[in-house]
Chain A
Amino acid sequence: MTPAIEARSLVKVFGATRAVDGLDLHVPRGSVYGLLGPNGAGKTTTIRMLATLLNLDGGSARVLGHDVVREAAAVRSRVSLTGQFASIDEDLTGRENLVLVARLLGLGWRGARERTDELLAAFDLSEAAGRRVRTFSGGMKRRMDIAASLVVTPELLFLDEPTTGLDPRSRSQVWDIVRAIAAQGATVLLTTQYLDEADRLADRLAVIDHGRVIAEGRSRELKRSVGGSTLHIRIQDPEERPRAEAVLRRVLGPEVQNGADEDHLSAIVPDDARVAAALSELAGAGVRLAEFSMGQPTLDEVFFALTGRPAEDQSRTPDGEAEEEK
């Protein structure tokens, strides 16, 4: 079977910004695939090109076997897009929004209402369905938005940062939805800024930096290539940080970073068995710990390991200045 997405050397240029700059992507069918990257890396632009909303300035892409430029209509009738910002009509009620999309997909009035009720129930929105969407919480809007993309089950669903800005409960609801979609055999391409989210949901992922894929693989492999998990320590006396840093470097290797707080250090752990040794060596060196924890590497750490630079905001305005916080 043809892959869900096959993209070669995609390029998109906005004025002086090369938002996507030679991006290759291969997404097998039936998988959840993650695009991971900091602000401005080109995730949204990539998704919009693959969903036929943007022209390509270079390269080519086939989605579900159809060329995104020459067979845009065929692509459109097989995929759904849930954009980064909720694309629902805030003046309409939840129910009206779904009926609208259902009608535009070709369902009759009755079919549209029935489908809407099913979706509302499944997405836990029945109670609020008669209210205008303007009054919905962020998590409810997100679920509405995803529901609107599932009125007709797509073969491929694009989800652009589905959980950014959601509280933990809403986030885990969205995760359940993504898993349920994947369990039905659809392909999901999702973007995220959180490594743990990609790790939980995605079978494979690509790390994007300045419009290019800089690493690709199963998330576990990728994490291992970064060095596996991370040891975080807080020390009681910040004066002891250089000493602690030296010990960690000796026991765990070179990937040691001083945190933003002066009592914090983090080190990528090449082998989990060495953590105990590191802790006892710290004690032996007289470094008193306030707290220690093991964590999955964050996007920052992956980025640092892959590129040697922190994952700063890469958004550029036309004059080449970093964009302000959204």
Chain B
Amino acid sequence: MESESLKGVLATTTRPPAPSRLSASLTMGWRAMLKIKHVPFQLFDVTVFPLMMTLLFTFLFGGALAGSTREYVQFLIPGILVQAILLITVYTGIGINTDIKKGLFDRFRSLPIWQPAPLVGALLGDVARYSIAGLMVVGLGFFLGFRPGAGVGGVLLALVLVLILAFALSWVWMVVGMMVENPESVMTSSFLVLFPLTFVSNIFVDPATMPAWLQSVVAVNPVTHLTSASRGFMHGGLQWVDVGLVLLASALITAVFAPLALRMYRRER
């Protein structure tokens, strides 16, 4: 090692003023983008599951459920978009858990930055991940014959609404990620919630054929309303009450879990 250049590099610095909140958060968002670039796998392993469900349901049950596979794809894709994005929210919690384990949060916390910046930055990265997953679903759908009546605009509006609930859920997994021991536990505990939440809904079939007790469960599930709204945006026939309920659920979840996450983050470890 060059001891002269070592001395030079140690001598030259003066401390710049601390970065603004926005700059620190954007830098953390840049880090999230780099992670997507270097580890694209984190997008695929969870998204692959809804994509597989799409193919299975379309070709196995599509004809039986909706008369033809083409018909069924129109019904299914807006819902699969919801499921795919809600499932990858788990990665927010896994990411935070890994950062704590690896001592990265210690480094961030010892820097003079706005303390929530790592959390906010992670959410910025999530926008990208969620959007890419959404594009993959719609892309596959298009290939299978999905033709949204309301065009690209409708798809984008649906995506925005899904992102809102996804953000709210991200805060939940952040809390879980800071609570449990390892990434596997984050995965397990969140799937215990997300699987029932996305399957006991109207994503795959019309609840009209379900037993009455199940119908009432499906009816209070926010995912059901999100899926209805997603279909409404994409094909027309939107019920604004669905949008309202999704926004309400998102606001409630965020109001509880965002402050909790921030408090847990500030707490020592």
Instruction: Tell me, yes or no, whether B241 is within 8 Å of chain A by CB.
Output: no
* Measured CA separation A96–B17 after assembly (Å): 21
Chain A proximity mask over B106-131: 1 for CB below 8 Å, otherwise 0: 11111111000100000000000000
Do B3 and A104 touch (CB < 8 A)?
Answer: no
State the Cβ distance, A76 to closest chain B Cβ, in Å.
6
Do A77 and B107 touch (CB < 8 A)?
Answer: no
Segment from A87-95, A198-206, A212-220 that makes contact with B = A87-95
Q: Which residue of B lies closest to A155 (CB)?
A: B15
Do B3 and A53 touch (CB < 8 A)?
Answer: no
Segment from B18-26, B66-74, B79-87, B218-226 that makes contact with A = B18-26
State the Cβ distance, B87 to closest chain A Cβ, in Å.
21
Q: Chain B contacts of A52 at CB under 8 A?
A: 110
Do A122 and B5 touch (CB < 8 A)?
Answer: yes
Instruction: Tell me, yes or no, whether A311 is within 8 Å of chain B by CB.
Output: no
Chain A proximity mask over B67-108: 1 for CB below 8 Å, otherwise 0: 000000000000000000000000000000000001110111
Q: Is the interface of B mostly helix, strand, loop or mixed?
A: helix
Q: Chain B contacts of A76 at CB under 8 A?
A: 110-112
Q: Which residue of B lies closest to A186 (CB)?
A: B10
Do A184 and B110 touch (CB < 8 A)?
Answer: no
Q: A103-B19, A105-B19, A152-B16 are in contact. Are A177 and B34 (CB under 8 A)?
A: no
* Measured CA separation A79–B112 after assembly (Å): 10
Do A104 and B19 touch (CB < 8 A)?
Answer: yes
Instruction: Tell me, yes or no, whether A275 is within 8 Å of chain B by CB.
Output: no
Instruction: Tell me, yes or no, whether A315 is within 8 Å of chain B by CB.
Output: no
Q: Chain A contacts of B23 at CB under 8 A?
A: 103, 106
Chain B proximity mask over A91-114: 1 for CB below 8 Å, otherwise 0: 111001000110111110001000
Q: A91-B38, A92-B31, A180-B6 are in contact. Are A81 and B13 (CB under 8 A)?
A: no
Q: Which residue of A lies closest to B111 (CB)?
A: A104
* Measured CA separation A73–B7 after assembly (Å): 28
Instruction: Tell me, yes or no, whether B52 is within 8 Å of chain A by CB.
Output: no
Q: Chain A contacts of B110 at CB under 8 A?
A: 51-53, 76, 79-81
Q: Chain B contacts of A96 at CB under 8 A?
A: 31, 34
| Interface residue ranges of B1-51 to A (CB < 8 Å) | 1-3, 5-19, 23-24, 27-28, 30-31, 34-35, 38-39
Q: Chain A contacts of B31 at CB under 8 A?
A: 89, 92, 96, 100
Do A85 and B16 touch (CB < 8 A)?
Answer: no
State the Cβ distance, A84 to closest chain B Cβ, in Å.
8
Q: Chain A contacts of B18 at CB under 8 A?
A: 77, 105-106
State the Cβ distance, A4 to closest chain B Cβ, in Å.
17
Q: Which residue of B lies closest to A84 (CB)?
A: B103
* Measured CA separation A93–B34 after assembly (Å): 9
Do B9 and A118 touch (CB < 8 A)?
Answer: yes
State the Cβ distance, B78 to closest chain A Cβ, in Å.
33
* A interface residues, Cβ below 8 angstroms from B: 48, 51-55, 73, 76-77, 79-81, 83, 85-93, 96, 100-101, 103-107, 111, 115, 118-119, 121-124, 132, 148, 150-153, 173, 176-177, 180-181, 183-184, 186
Q: Chain A contacts of B38 at CB under 8 A?
A: 91-93, 132
Q: Which residue of B lies closest to A180 (CB)?
A: B6
6 contacting pairs across A/B (C-beta < 8 A) = A53-B268, A104-B24, A105-B111, A122-B1, A122-B10, A177-B1
Do A148 and B107 touch (CB < 8 A)?
Answer: yes
* Measured CA separation A106–B16 after assembly (Å): 6
Do A124 and B1 touch (CB < 8 A)?
Answer: yes
Do A105 and B112 touch (CB < 8 A)?
Answer: yes
State the Cβ distance, A305 to closest chain B Cβ, in Å.
34
Tell me which of B19, B104, B112, B117 contacts A89 (CB under 8 A): B104
Q: Chain B contacts of A90 at CB under 8 A?
A: 102
Do A153 and B11 touch (CB < 8 A)?
Answer: yes
Q: Which residue of A lies closest to B18 (CB)?
A: A106
Do A176 and B19 touch (CB < 8 A)?
Answer: no
State the Cβ distance, B12 to closest chain A Cβ, in Å.
7
Q: Which residue of A lies closest to B38 (CB)?
A: A91
Do B103 and A87 touch (CB < 8 A)?
Answer: yes
| Residue picked from A79, A87, A92, A184, most chain B C-beta under 10 Å | A87
* Measured CA separation A111–B1 after assembly (Å): 24
Chain A proximity mask over B155-166: 1 for CB below 8 Å, otherwise 0: 000000000000
Tell me which of A106, A151, A173 contacts B19 (CB under 8 A): A106
* Measured CA separation A52–B107 after assembly (Å): 11
Q: A55-B268, A122-B9, A124-B1 are in contact. Are A87 and B107 (CB under 8 A)?
A: yes
* Measured CA separation A273–B107 after assembly (Å): 50
Q: A87-B106, A101-B107, A180-B3 are in contact. Are A92 and B34 (CB under 8 A)?
A: yes
Q: Chain A contacts of B9 at CB under 8 A?
A: 118-119, 121-122, 150
Q: Which residue of A lies closest to B20 (CB)?
A: A106
* Measured CA separation A177–B103 after assembly (Å): 22
Tell me which of B7, B34, B104 contacts A180 (CB under 8 A): B7
* Measured CA separation A79–B104 after assembly (Å): 16
Q: Chain A contacts of B6 at CB under 8 A?
A: 122-123, 176-177, 180
Q: A106-B17, A115-B13, A183-B7 are in contact. Are A87 and B112 (CB under 8 A)?
A: no
Q: A105-B19, A115-B13, A119-B9 are in contact. Are A124 and B2 (CB under 8 A)?
A: yes
